[in-house]
Amino acid sequence: MTAVAPRNAWYPLTWSRNVTRKLGSHRVLGSDLVVYRTEAGEPVCLDDVCPHRLAPLSMGKLRGDAVECGYHGMTFGSDGRCIRIPGQKLIPANAKVPCYPLHEKMGLVWIWPGDPDLADASLIYDLPQYNAAGWHAAHGDALRIEANYLNLADNLCDPAHVSFVHLSTLGNSASEEIPVEHIFKDKGVLVWRWIRDAAPIPLFAKYGNFRGNVDRWHYYDFAAPCSAVIDFGSADAGAIADPEDRDKGLRIFACHFITPVDDHVCIDHWLHVRNFARDPEVDERLHADFRVAFNEDKEILERIEAVERSRPDIKRIRLGIDAAPQRMRRIVERMVAEDGKSSAAQAAVSG
Ligand code: FES
Ligand SMILES: [Fe+2]
């Protein structure tokens, strides 16, 4: 199984609300990073390693927009270049730390760990409903999962697990036998199914005022390597003739933006956008249900990770429901291979 994450991609670094005038430390793709805001409010991310004796810069101090190392005071501007060495006039040209492109969107600070020249913010997942009239967005948590991020990505290309893992919140047994459909895209997969004329799931039964049975849907839109948006909802049975008219029902976009922390840990930054009960007081009630559900995923994924580590040679069998997760992994592998080409090209240019 692939464990590598492509570098030329946007990843959620942390919630925007966490990036302040205090130095914060985060870990993405196995690298430790120091993160803060300039006086003008721009987020900054540098490697969290002083190039002198490798002290973490996050142990130092913010001086205006620069970071002063807490060991001997070397000071680095927000572009990573050294601007001061106490007791020494000459600043060597190599006195700098890597600095990463950032972009804020949907309440998150996103980081591009790869070639800065390729960092195009329009590549970050776009959910137009996030800011649209008639919709309400609510930021959730950062759920730490002791599992490789691709195992979480598998789960987020996989509506079939909902009938078994999330019976108290997101699923019920009516969907067990309904096959999933999918289409493959260049950089992702869309997997979905409709469950028609069935009892409403617990989460929607509380808000829907349904007459009886409902038609409900799940559309899992995965954009490699780390963005999964699950469009799910319900309407009175027969009320939605055209599947594209899902706005007529109760509709939620549950967004999962995954940070690969390292090979064995990821963080699920989750939020949701909905078209019903748009009162912020409902956010917490819905989030209580989501927390139950996402912790059910966490529990099973962490157990799978433990098995993978203790039995690395064990073989899996492939089922029909695995077509989308398999495709997602192929796309990620292709992105990793493309990273290699771009760094080889860079080496050729600089060499
Ligand atoms: S370790 Fe940072 S200045 Fe010495
Ligand atoms: Fe799940």
Distance 69 CA to ligand 1 centre (A): 6
* Any atom of ligand 1 within 6 Å of the Cβ of 254: no
pLDDT at 32: 98
Could you report the average pLDDT of every consecutive run of 10 residues in the chain (351 residues)? Answer: 80 98 98 98 98 98 98 98 97 97 98 97 98 97 97 93 82 75 93 92 84 93 97 95 94 98 97 95 93 96 96 92 94 94 60 40
pLDDT at 3: 55
pLDDT at 257: 98
Q: What is the best residue among 23, 52, 83 to mutate for testing ligand 1's pocket, by most ligand atoms within 8 Å of CB?
A: 52
Ligand 1, atom nearest to 70 Cα: 2
* Any atom of ligand 1 within 6 Å of the Cβ of 74: yes
Q: What is the C-alpha to C-alpha distance for residues 333 and 4, in angstroms, rounded to an integer? A: 8
pLDDT at 1: 42
* Any atom of ligand 1 within 6 Å of the Cβ of 71: yes
Helix, strand, coil share (%) of the chain residues, nearest 5: 30, 35, 35
pLDDT at 76: 98
Residue 348's φ and ψ, nearest 5 degrees, are: -65, -40
Helix ranges restricted to H, the chain: 149-155, 162-165, 202-205, 280-310, 323-350
Distance 337 CA to ligand 2 centre (A): 29
In this structure, what is the dihedral angle of CA atoms 159, 162, 163, 166, given to the nearest 10 degrees? -170
Residue type at 73 in one-letter notation? G
**Contact (Cβ atoms closer than 8 angstroms) between residue 294 and residue 151:** no
Which residue from 291, 26, 263, 295 is spatially nearest to 155, judged by alpha carbons? 295
Ligand 1, atom nearest to 50 Cα: 2
Distance 49 CA to ligand 1 centre (A): 9
DSSP secondary structure string for all residues of 141-161:
EEEEESS-HHHHHHHTT-GGG
Ligand 1, atom nearest to 69 Cα: 2
pLDDT at 348: 55
Distance 101 CA to ligand 1 centre (A): 24
In residues, how long is the chain?
351
Distance 72 CA to ligand 1 centre (A): 5
Please identify every residue whose CB atom is under 5 Å from ligand 2, which is an ion.
297
Quick count: other Cβ atoms within 10 Å of Cβ 99? 17
Q: Whose CA is nearest to atom 3 of ligand 1?
A: 72
Q: What is the C-alpha to C-alpha distance for residues 51 and 127, in angstroms, rounded to an integer? A: 40
pLDDT at 344: 62
Give the global pTM.
0.94
Q: How far is CA 272 from the centre of its chain?
A: 13
Q: What is the C-alpha to C-alpha distance for residues 217 and 243, in angstroms, rounded to an integer? A: 9
Contacts of 117 (CB under 8 A, 6+ apart): none
Number of H helices, E strands in the chain: 5, 17
Q: Whose CA is nearest to atom 4 of ligand 1?
A: 72
CA torsion sign, 4 to 261 to 230 to 123? negative
pLDDT at 2: 40
